[in-house]
């Protein structure tokens, strides 16, 4: 990507053609599906044939590798000649953190933003005068990271573009075309013709925090990323645990219901509108899960013990899907800055979750060993190779997912990842010689139908709002 013009914050890149964008997105999506598939095979082999049962340790290694995402992204910026400076990227990250801090400490009741900074309360109505307007899009609620699913249910969710396509609120100062004379000044510092908007008040609070409250922002961010890393890892651990009890195809299909739970939690936590069509789509997918888990043909020759074992595994991965949906919603609430869309910040958040995992999430490994729930043992050289491969493809999966997000939309990314369902069925048949049961096929169709319906509703909402 060639640089075009330089702004105070970053370079403005030239948009790639539609064909090249679709080609790159398709390659990234293929890498994403392939990485998930290889990860599943590797972990199942490691736990079964490799007889290595320290699952949380394997997970800890895998998610700690997320720290490599940020250096890789910075290298990409340098190679694509869109890198500006270290200070520019640092300012970009800190603005995102400041926006999260103000968002968490603010109330918009009666058009009033009150930033609670220790013993200080800054009434944005009568104390701070903004100096610039933002050119960002309206805020919405989900993240990503790591996960597009929550954002894909937000009716006005924008496509995330690389950093070079965006500018921070300090990049430009809007200038009126006719340059009208300023109106009479008001006590709060605004003219009658320039009455402060909610967005201006919020931006003013952000500028104040950046200038005066760096340490509280850093401490708050450490707390948020630390707690979210535990949420991410505890629910991901259930996925690793379920591999010992049920089949790959069922795990993949049930796990892919997490977007539906992300929508439900977005209604409860983020106060999104409750839509009948979306609720119906959620119910269709849950019916599919129950068909896969609790309906068995009489022709299926499996012992009662084996059936109970699979049912337990299905329940575990179902809880994993619910927890993943909750985690995605919490991402939207706590690590998605309002009025701010930056690929640098997305990668920084992924890096921060990896760093928090490395520094904090070794504690469950010790506790699981101490209570003899999951005894820890040093892996052999062969086991270590499998652990390394799992970490590598976990990194590939997340990096590819972020690329798909940056080139397309959250909805496209979420629908695309559903390709892991038929791929997992293929693995089951050709690599493990397990025939796919009818209930798994029927249940999988229900899950896909529910997701297709939800995607269609989302597409219609976006088309209506952009019309």
Say yes or no to pLDDT of 325 above 80: yes
Q: What are phi and psi of 122, to 5 degrees?
A: -105, 110
Q: Find the farthest-apart pair of alpha carbons in the chain and give their distance in angstroms, rounded.
A: 85
Q: Which of 8-22, 306-320, 445-459 has the lowest mean pLDDT?
A: 8-22
Nearest to 208 by CA among 126, 318, 122: 122
Q: Is 179 helix (H, G, I), strand (E, B) or coil?
A: coil
Q: Which of 6-20, 69-83, 354-368, 426-440 has the highest mean pLDDT?
A: 354-368
State the pLDDT at residue 137.
37
CA gap 22, 149 in Å, rounded: 20
> Among 158-162, 301-305, 439-443, whose mean pLDDT is lowest?
158-162
Q: Which burial class, exposed, middle or buried, applies to 260 when counting CB atoms under 10 A from its CB (0-12, 13-18, 19+)?
A: buried
Q: Can you tell me the mean pLDDT for 302-307?
A: 66
How many beta carbons lie within 10 A of that of residue 12, not counting itself?
17
Pairwise CA distance, residues 93 & 103, whole Å = 15
pLDDT value for 410: 62
Threshold 0.85, pTM exceeds: no
CB count within 10 Å of CB 176 equals 8
Phi and psi for 185 in degrees, rounded to 5?
A: -75, 145
Quote the CA–CA distance of 58 and 362 in Å, as a whole number: 11
Which of 459, 34, 452, 424 is CA-nearest to residue 248?
Answer: 424
What pLDDT, on the 0 to 100 scale, is given for residue 11? 34
Percent of the chain with pLDDT over 90: 32
Q: List beta partners, residue 195.
A: none
Is residue 331 scored above 80 in pLDDT? yes
| pLDDT above 70 for 172 | no
- From 107-121, 163-177, 321-335, the region with the lowest mean pLDDT: 163-177
Question: The dihedral of CA 142, 144, 148, 150: what is its sign?
Answer: negative
What confidence category does residue 387 fall into, taking pLDDT thresholds of 50, 70 and 90? Answer: very high
Who has greater pLDDT, 64 or 134?
Answer: 64
Of 37-41, 156-160, 347-351, the poorest mean pLDDT is in 156-160
DSSP letter string, 89-143? HHHHHHHHHHHHHHHHT---GGG--EEEETTEEEETTTS--------PPPP----
Angle at 366 between CA 365 and CA 368, to 5 degrees: 65
pLDDT at 399: 82
Averaged pLDDT score across all residues of the chain? 76
Question: For 44-58, 158-172, 175-189, 272-286, which range has the lowest pLDDT when averaged over its residues?
Answer: 158-172
pLDDT band with cut points at 50, 70 and 90 for residue 107: low
Look up tokens 């105070």; give the residue. 8
Q: Choose between 94 and 122: higher pLDDT.
A: 94
What's the average model confidence in pLDDT over 245-274?
Answer: 86
What's the whole-number mean pLDDT along residues 142-163? 38
In this prediction, residue 17 has a pLDDT band, given cuts at 50, 70 and 90, of low
Beta carbons within 8 Å of 385's beta carbon, 6+ residues apart: none
pLDDT at 419 over 50: yes
pLDDT at 116 over 70: no
Owner of token pair 């997992």: 424
Average pLDDT over residues 309-316: 90
CA separation for the pair 20, 407 (Å, rounded): 10
CB 353 within 8 A of CB 69: no
Write down the pLDDT at residue 411: 60
Q: Mean of the pLDDT values across residues 62-85?
A: 90
- Give the pLDDT mean for 354-383: 95
Q: Round to whole Å and give the CA distance between 245 and 247.
A: 7
Nearest to 168 by CA among 1, 345, 407, 353: 345
R_g of the chain, CA atoms, integer Å = 24
Range of lowest pLDDT (59-63, 322-326, 440-444): 440-444
Q: Which residues contact 68 (CB under 8 A, 6 or more apart)?
A: 354, 395
Residue 453 predicted with pLDDT over 70:
yes
């Amino acid at each position: 990507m060639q640089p075009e013009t330089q702004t105070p914050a970053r370079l403005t890149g030239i948009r790639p053609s539609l064909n090249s964008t679709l080609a790159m997105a398709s390659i990234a999506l293929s890498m994403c599906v392939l990485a998930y598939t290889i990860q599943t095979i590797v972990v199942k082999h490691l736990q079964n044939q490799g007889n290595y049962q320290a699952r949380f340790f394997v997970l800890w290694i895998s998610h700690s590798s997320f720290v490599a995402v940020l250096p890789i992204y910075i290298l990409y910026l340098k190679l694509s000649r869109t890198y500006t400076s270290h200070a520019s990227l640092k300012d970009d990250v800190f603005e995102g953190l400041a926006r999260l801090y103000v968002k968490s400490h603010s109330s918009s009741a009666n058009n009033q933003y009150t930033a609670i900074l220790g013993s200080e309360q800054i009434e944005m109505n009568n104390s701070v005068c903004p100096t610039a307007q933002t050119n960002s899009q309206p805020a919405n609620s989900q993240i990503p990271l790591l996960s597009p699913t929550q954002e894909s249910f937000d009716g006005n969710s924008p496509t995330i573009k690389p950093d070079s396509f965006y500018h921070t609120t300090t990049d430009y100062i809007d200038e009126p075309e006719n340059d009208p004379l300023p109106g009479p000044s008001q006590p709060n510092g605004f003219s009658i013709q320039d009455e402060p908007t909610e967005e201006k008040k919020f931006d003013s609070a952000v500028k104040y925090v950046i200038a005066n409250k760096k340490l509280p922002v850093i401490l708050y961010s450490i707390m948020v990323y630390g707690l979210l890393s535990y949420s991410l890892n505890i629910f991901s651990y259930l996925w690793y645990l379920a591999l010992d009890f049920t089949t790959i195809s069922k795990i993949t299909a049930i796990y892919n219901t997490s977007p539906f739970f992300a929508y439900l939690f977005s209604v409860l936590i983020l106060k999104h509108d409750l839509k009948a069509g979306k609720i119906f789509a959620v119910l269709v997918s849950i019916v599919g899960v129950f068909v896969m888990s609790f309906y068995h043909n009489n022709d299926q020759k499996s012992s009662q013990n084996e059936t109970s074992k699979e049912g337990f595994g299905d329940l575990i991965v179902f809880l994993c899907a619910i927890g993943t949906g909750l985690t995605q919603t919490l991402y939207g609430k706590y690590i998605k800055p309002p009025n701010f869309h930056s690929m640098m910040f997305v990668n920084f958040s992924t890096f921060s979750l990896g760093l928090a995992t490395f520094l904090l999430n070794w504690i469950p490994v010790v506790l699981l060993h101490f209570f003899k729930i999951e005894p820890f043992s040093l892996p052999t050289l062969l086991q270590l190779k499998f652990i390394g491969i799992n970490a590598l493809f976990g990194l590939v999966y997340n990096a590819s997912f972020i690329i798909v997000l940056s080139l397309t939309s959250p909805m496209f990314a979420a629908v695309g990842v559903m390709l892991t369902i038929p791929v997992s069925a293929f693995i089951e048949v050709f690599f493990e010689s397990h025939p796919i049961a009818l209930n798994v096929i029927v249940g999988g169709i229900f899950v896909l139908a529910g997701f297709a319906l939800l995607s269609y509703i989302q597409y219609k909402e976006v088309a209506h709002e952009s019309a």
